[in-house]
Amino acid sequence: MDFKKDLVHGRLIRRYKRFLADVELDDGTVATAHCTNSGSMKTCLEKGAEVYLTPVDDPNRRTSYTWEMIRINGDWVGVNTNHPNRLAYDAIRKGEIERLGGYERVQREVTWQGSRFDVYAENEKEKCFVEVKNVTMKDGRYALFPDAITKRGKKHLDTLIKAREAGYRTVMLYLIQRMDVDRFAPARSVDPEYARTLRDAYQSGVEIIPLQARVSPEKIEIAGEMPFSL
């Protein structure tokens, strides 16, 4: 995924009220950017760290920028939670994910039994639901999800289990927007109920695919699949 606009460079002053971040731009002015990430953003917040923003030309919006990434430990971490769904959809549609290849029809945001899944794919052999989650938290070499308690995330897992029981192929796909990790795991210390439900889902036949993405000011690209531990 290439960025369509040139990003604006600055340094993080603070993130507050969940959806706002103040950034000092290179010319010394302070801009307020929209933060799409509603989680705690643990391990990807650092005062004074380099950030990149996308300028937004919308007179009806309170902020003129969207926060895209932050530089942590010398590498970029993608914090825009709007991108993983699109990245996963495009990769499945183009057959770029080996375990999710061969689908003739791919759609975004399909509802089943009151839950909306991020991607639906099908071919002559099977029908598949894919739920996508953005991952930015790390502990050592582990990428962890979630970074805050997520009842909505647990509901998605419960519905994936039901869909699997109904005969669908079901996949929980984690899009990890940082390269300083090499294994995925649920964040048990943050949300033990989610971790238990993920294990139950896996044992019920829900597949887990952690995908790592390389983030830069020019583009975000999928780097490959990552092993996981439950």
> Is residue 3 one of the residues assigned to a domain?
no
Question: Is residue 213 predicted with pLDDT exceeding 90?
Answer: yes
pLDDT of residue 29: 96
- Tens of pLDDT, residues 5-41: 999 999 999 999 999 999 999 999 999 999 999 889 9
Do both 125 and 162 map to the same domain?
yes
Do both 18 and 99 map to the same domain?
no
**What domain count does the chain have?**
2
Strands 65-72, 50-55: pairing is antiparallel
For the chain, how long is the longest CA-to-CA vector? 58
- Tens of pLDDT, residues 97-130: 999 999 999 999 999 988 899 999 999 999 999 9
Do both 58 and 153 map to the same domain?
no
d(CA 122, CA 162): 18
pLDDT of residue 113: 86
pLDDT of residue 61: 84
Question: Is residue 57 predicted with pLDDT exceeding 90?
Answer: no
User: Where does a domain end: 48, 76, 104?
Assistant: 76
Question: Is residue 62 predicted with pLDDT exceeding 90?
Answer: no
- Closest to 90 (Cα-Cα) out of 108, 77, 109, 102: 108
Give 144's pLDDT tier (boundaries 50, 70, 90): very high
Do both 121 and 104 map to the same domain?
yes
Do both 153 and 197 map to the same domain?
yes
**For the whole prediction, is pTM greater than 0.85?**
yes
Do both 144 and 211 map to the same domain?
yes
Do both 62 and 104 map to the same domain?
no
- Tens of pLDDT, residues 70-99: 999 999 999 999 999 999 999 999 999 999
- What is residue 61's three-state secondary structure? coil
User: Where does a domain end: 55, 76, 97?
Assistant: 76
Q: Which residue has the tokens 């952690």?
A: 210
> Is residue 26 one of the residues assigned to a domain?
yes
The rounded Cα 167 to chain-centroid distance in angstroms is 27
> Is residue 21 one of the residues assigned to a domain?
yes
- Closest to 83 (Cα-Cα) out of 39, 33, 118: 118
As a whole-number percent, the residues of the chain with pLDDT over 90 amount to: 93
Q: Domain containing 55 — which CATH number?
A: 2.40.50.580
Do both 180 and 91 map to the same domain?
yes
Boundaries of domain holding 159: 83-225
